[in-house]
């Protein structure tokens, strides 16, 4: 069975979690201070408990802040892939150190899909494309980003002939995905096709992107 392409923007939830953690920590410290002021606990207990609360609060906020950063590095609207900025940073580092292939993938005639079938179908196409290109390329040790619109970028840590075969597997997979999708199989009248470019090398990222 094909997976559902449901993407949730978690940014609001995570930032709210930071606020709640901070408020909860503040309340715990206030209760501790009240107990100390009322001489219900000794100074030693007060200092020990305050230190523990402050450490736990700092750890909780740091953990949630890292989650916010991770979400902020991804395309929050549809695919949850790396966004353009994060993808470029990762690809630049990998290409400089290890070499491999930089891949650019465009959906052919995507504007026509949006204009004739509506943005709901267009969004579903982008979600399916993002999900499966990510699944397939990650299984080969690479990673994917959404560069904007219907353009995706990928890093594949193999020579160009291997990268081309991986992309062919992705294209074939999309054929079966569309056929199995109740919405896409009935609304799309033509096969989804992609324009793909592969640049192999170990060199300046900016030059490879412009090739």
Contact 71, 15 (CB under 8 A): no
Average pLDDT over residues 185-208: 76
Contact 137, 82 (CB under 8 A): no
pTM for the full predicted model: 0.64
Residues 26-58: tens digit of each pLDDT: 888 889 899 889 888 899 998 899 888 888 888
Residue 210 above 50 pLDDT?
A: yes
Mean pLDDT of the chain: 81
Count the residues in the chain.
211
pLDDT at 1: 32
Contact 75, 81 (CB under 8 A): yes
């Amino acid at each position: 069975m094909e997976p559902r392409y449901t993407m949730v923007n978690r940014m609001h939830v995570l930032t709210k979690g930071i606020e709640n953690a901070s408020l909860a920590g503040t309340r715990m410290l206030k209760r501790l201070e009240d107990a100390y002021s009322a001489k219900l606990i000794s100074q030693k207990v007060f200092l020990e408990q305050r230190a523990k609360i402050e450490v736990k609060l700092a750890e909780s906020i740091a953990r949630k802040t890292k989650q916010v950063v991770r979400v902020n590095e991804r395309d929050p609207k549809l695919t949850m892939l790396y966004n353009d900025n994060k993808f470029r940073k990762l690809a630049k580092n990998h290409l400089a150190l290890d070499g491999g292939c930089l891949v650019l993938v465009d959906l052919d005639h995507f504007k026509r899909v949006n204009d004739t079938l509506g943005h709901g179908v267009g969004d579903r196409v982008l979600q399916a494309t993002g999900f499966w290109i990510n699944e397939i390329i990650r299984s080969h040790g690479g990673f994917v980003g959404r560069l904007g619109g219907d353009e995706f970028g990928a890093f594949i840590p193999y020579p160009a002939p291997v990268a081309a075969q991986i992309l062919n597997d992705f294209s074939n997979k999309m054929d079966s995905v569309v056929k199995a999708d109740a919405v896409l199989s009935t609304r799309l009248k033509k096969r989804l096709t992609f324009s793909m470019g592969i640049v192999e090398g170990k060199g300046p990222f900016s030059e490879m992107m412009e090739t």
